[in-house]
Chains A and B, each alone.
Chain A
Amino acid sequence: MGKERLVLVGNGMAGMKVIEELLAIAPDRYDITVFGAEPYGNYNRILLSPVLAGDQTVDDIILNRVEWYAENGLTLHSGCEVIEIDRFHRRVIAADGTSAPYDRLLLATGSNPFIIPVPGNDLPGVLTYRDIHDVEAMLAASRRQKEAVVIGGGLLGLEAAYGLMKQGMTVTVVHLEETLMERQLDRPAGELLKHSLEARGMRFLMKAQTAEIVGDGRVQAVRFANGSEVPADLVVMAVGIRPNTALAQRAGLYCERGVVVSDTLQTFDPRIYAVGECVQHRGQCYGLVAPLFEQAKVCANQLAELGYRYYEGSVTSTKLKVTGVELFSAGHFQGGGECEELLLQDSSAGVYKKLVIRDAQIVGAVMYGDTADGAWYFQMMRDATPINDIRSTLLFGQANLGDSGHGGVRQTADLPDSAQICDCNGVCKGTIVEAIVSKGLFTLEDVRAHTKASASCGSCTGLVQQILQNTVGNYATPAITPLCRCTDHSHDQVRETIRRHHLTSLEAVFAFMEWKTPDGCEKCRPAINYYLIVTWPGEAIDDAQARFVNERMHANIQKDGSYSVVPRMWGGVTNPAELRAIADVAERYQIPTVKVTGGQRIDLLGVKKEDLPKVWGDLSKAGFVSGHAYGKALRTVKTCVGTEWCRFGVQDSTRLGIELETMCWGTWTPHKVKMAVSGCPRNCAEATIKDLGVVAIDSGWEIHVGGNGGMKVRATEVLCRVESATAVKEYAAAYLQLYREEARYLERTAHWIERVGLSYVKQRLVDDAAGRKSLAERFHASQRQAQEDPWAKYADKCHADKFQTLQEVS
Chain B
Amino acid sequence: MDRPTTNWIAVGKPDDIPVLGARVVKTARGPIALFKTRTGEIFALLDRCPHKNGPLSEGMVHGTTVTCPLHGLNIHLDNGKAVAPDKGCVPRFPVKLEDGRIWLGLTALRQADSSAPYTHSSEGDEGERPRLAKLEK
Hey, which chain A residues are within 8 Å of B124, CB to CB?
Answer: none
Question: Could you tell me the distance between the alpha carbons of A439 and B55 in the complex, rounded to whole angstroms?
Answer: 31
Hey, which chain A residues are within 8 Å of B37, CB to CB?
Answer: 519
Contact assessment for B70 and A809 in the assembled complex, using a CB-CB cutoff below 8 Å:
no
Contact assessment for A518 and B70 in the assembled complex, using a CB-CB cutoff below 8 Å:
no
Of the stretches A153-161, A250-258, A520-528, A685-693, the one at the interface is A520-528
Contact assessment for B58 and A549 in the assembled complex, using a CB-CB cutoff below 8 Å:
yes
Hey, which chain B residues are within 8 Å of A807, CB to CB?
Answer: 11-12, 25-26
| Minimal Cβ-Cβ distance residue in B for A547 | B60
Hey, which chain B residues are within 8 Å of A805, CB to CB?
Answer: 23-26, 31
Contact assessment for A525 and B60 in the assembled complex, using a CB-CB cutoff below 8 Å:
yes
A801 and B16 contact, Cβ closer than 8 Å, known pairs A522-B67, A557-B70: yes
Contact assessment for B62 and A525 in the assembled complex, using a CB-CB cutoff below 8 Å:
yes
The answer to whether B116 has its CB under 8 Å from any CB of chain A is no
Question: Could you tell me the distance between the alpha carbons of A546 and B61 in the complex, rounded to whole angstroms?
Answer: 9
Contact assessment for A449 and B59 in the assembled complex, using a CB-CB cutoff below 8 Å:
no
Hey, which chain A residues are within 8 Å of B63, CB to CB?
Answer: 517-519, 521
| Minimal Cβ-Cβ distance residue in A for B65 | A521
The answer to whether A561 has its CB under 8 Å from any CB of chain B is yes
Q: Name which of A439, A522, A544, A546 has the most chain B CB atoms within 10 A of its CB.
A: A522
- B-facing mask of A518-557, CB < 8 A → 1, else 0? 1111100110000000000000000011101100110001
Q: Name which of B19, B59, B62, B74 has the most chain A CB atoms within 10 A of its CB.
A: B62
Q: Name which of B12, B18, B85 has the most chain A CB atoms within 10 A of its CB.
A: B85
The answer to whether B38 has its CB under 8 Å from any CB of chain A is yes
The answer to whether B28 has its CB under 8 Å from any CB of chain A is yes
Contact assessment for B24 and A806 in the assembled complex, using a CB-CB cutoff below 8 Å:
yes
Contact assessment for A806 and B58 in the assembled complex, using a CB-CB cutoff below 8 Å:
no
- The distance from the CB of A621 to the nearest CB of chain B, in whole angstroms, is 27
Question: Could you tell me the distance between the alpha carbons of A800 and B12 in the complex, rounded to whole angstroms?
Answer: 12
Hey, which chain A residues are within 8 Å of B3, CB to CB?
Answer: none
The answer to whether B108 has its CB under 8 Å from any CB of chain A is no
Contact assessment for B60 and A522 in the assembled complex, using a CB-CB cutoff below 8 Å:
yes
Question: Could you tell me the distance between the alpha carbons of A647 and B106 in the complex, rounded to whole angstroms?
Answer: 70
- A-facing mask of B36-79, CB < 8 A → 1, else 0? 01100000000000001111001111110101011010100000
Question: Could you tell me the distance between the alpha carbons of A548 and B72 in the complex, rounded to whole angstroms?
Answer: 11
Question: Could you tell me the distance between the alpha carbons of A787 and B85 in the complex, rounded to whole angstroms?
Answer: 42
Hey, which chain A residues are within 8 Å of B21, CB to CB?
Answer: 545, 801
The answer to whether B27 has its CB under 8 Å from any CB of chain A is yes
Q: Give chain A's interface secondary structure class.
A: mixed
- B-facing mask of A779-810, CB < 8 A → 1, else 0? 00000000000000000000011000111111
Contact assessment for A519 and B58 in the assembled complex, using a CB-CB cutoff below 8 Å:
no
- B-facing mask of A433-475, CB < 8 A → 1, else 0? 0000001000000000110000000000000000000000000
| Minimal Cβ-Cβ distance residue in B for A456 | B71
Contact assessment for B18 and A809 in the assembled complex, using a CB-CB cutoff below 8 Å:
no
| Minimal Cβ-Cβ distance residue in B for A449 | B85
Question: Could you tell me the distance between the alpha carbons of A559 and B16 in the complex, rounded to whole angstroms?
Answer: 27
Question: Could you tell me the distance between the alpha carbons of A808 and B55 in the complex, rounded to whole angstroms?
Answer: 17
Contact assessment for A450 and B26 in the assembled complex, using a CB-CB cutoff below 8 Å:
no
Contact assessment for B70 and A559 in the assembled complex, using a CB-CB cutoff below 8 Å:
yes
Contact assessment for B26 and A808 in the assembled complex, using a CB-CB cutoff below 8 Å:
yes
A548 and B23 contact, Cβ closer than 8 Å, known pairs A518-B63, A810-B28: no
- The distance from the CB of A36 to the nearest CB of chain B, in whole angstroms, is 27
Question: Could you tell me the distance between the alpha carbons of A808 and B25 in the complex, rounded to whole angstroms?
Answer: 6
The answer to whether B20 has its CB under 8 Å from any CB of chain A is yes
Question: Could you tell me the distance between the alpha carbons of A388 and B72 in the complex, rounded to whole angstroms?
Answer: 38
- The distance from the CB of B94 to the nearest CB of chain A, in whole angstroms, is 15
Give me 13 A-to-B residue pairs in the complex whose CB atoms sit less than 8 angstroms apart, sorted by A's number: A518-B38, A520-B62, A521-B62, A548-B69, A549-B58, A549-B69, A557-B55, A561-B53, A805-B23, A806-B16, A807-B25, A807-B26, A809-B11
A522-B59, A525-B60, A809-B11 known; 4 other A-B pairs, CB under 8 Å?
Answer: A552-B58, A557-B58, A806-B25, A807-B11
> Which residues on B are within 8 Å of A, measured CB to CB?
9, 11-12, 16-21, 23-28, 31, 34, 37-38, 52-55, 58-63, 65, 67, 69-70, 72, 74, 85, 104, 106
The 9 closest A-B pairs by CB, nearest first: A522-B67, A806-B23, A549-B69, A519-B62, A549-B58, A545-B20, A561-B55, A808-B26, A522-B60
> Which residues on A are within 8 Å of B, measured CB to CB?
439, 449-450, 517-522, 525-526, 544-546, 548-549, 552-553, 557, 559, 561, 800-801, 805-810
